[in-house]
Amino acid sequence: MIDHHRALIYAMVLTSASDGNMTDAELHAMGENIRFLPVFADFDTQKLAQVAQECTELLGDPDGLDAAIEMIKRSLPKSLRETAYILACEVVAADRTATQEELRLLEMLRHGLEVDRLTAAALERGARARYTVA
């Protein structure tokens, strides 16, 4: 099992890597979330690269994606599962385009974290609204 910081970061890294293209906007969104959200207040940001590398190595395994989602679920209290989901949504919204791979990953994450459909829709809409420009 991993700590809750790692689990939340894994959710963001999985989402960003899902389409094979981790954009600058996605990386920036991850960094901003880690620097400013209260849930990361006691996280050592010097460990971010190491945690991201751990996650990408896990994805190299044949069942790595499923294992990562299960690890995220087991490592988070129920109160942080919606947090993990919205962090993933924000990564998708950061570059203002959602690929089919990213949408599929969000669906898998929603099911894996047991986030109900209505809550997921609200979180997705909130993330989209935060990144909409005129």
User: 12 pLDDT band (50/70/90 cuts)?
Assistant: very high
61 secondary structure, DSSP code: S
Q: What angle do CA 77, 39, 59 make, to 5 degrees?
A: 65
Average pLDDT over residues 112-119: 98
Average pLDDT over residues 15-37: 94
- List the one residue out of 47, 62, 54, 74 whose CA is nearest residue 14: 54
Domains of the chain (ranges, CATH numbers)? 4-131 (1.10.3680)
Q: What angle do CA 51, 54, 7 make, to 5 degrees?
A: 55
Average pLDDT score over the chain: 95
Half-sphere exposure of 35 (CA within 13 A, CB side): 6
- pLDDT per residue as tens digits for the range 41-100: 999 999 999 999 999 999 888 899 999 999 999 999 999 999 999 999 999 999 998 999
Q: What is the pLDDT of residue 92?
A: 96
DSSP H helices, 18-116, are 24-36, 48-59, 64-75, 78-94, 100-113
Q: What is the pLDDT of residue 89?
A: 98
| pLDDT of 1 strictly over 90 | no
| pLDDT of 38 strictly over 90 | yes
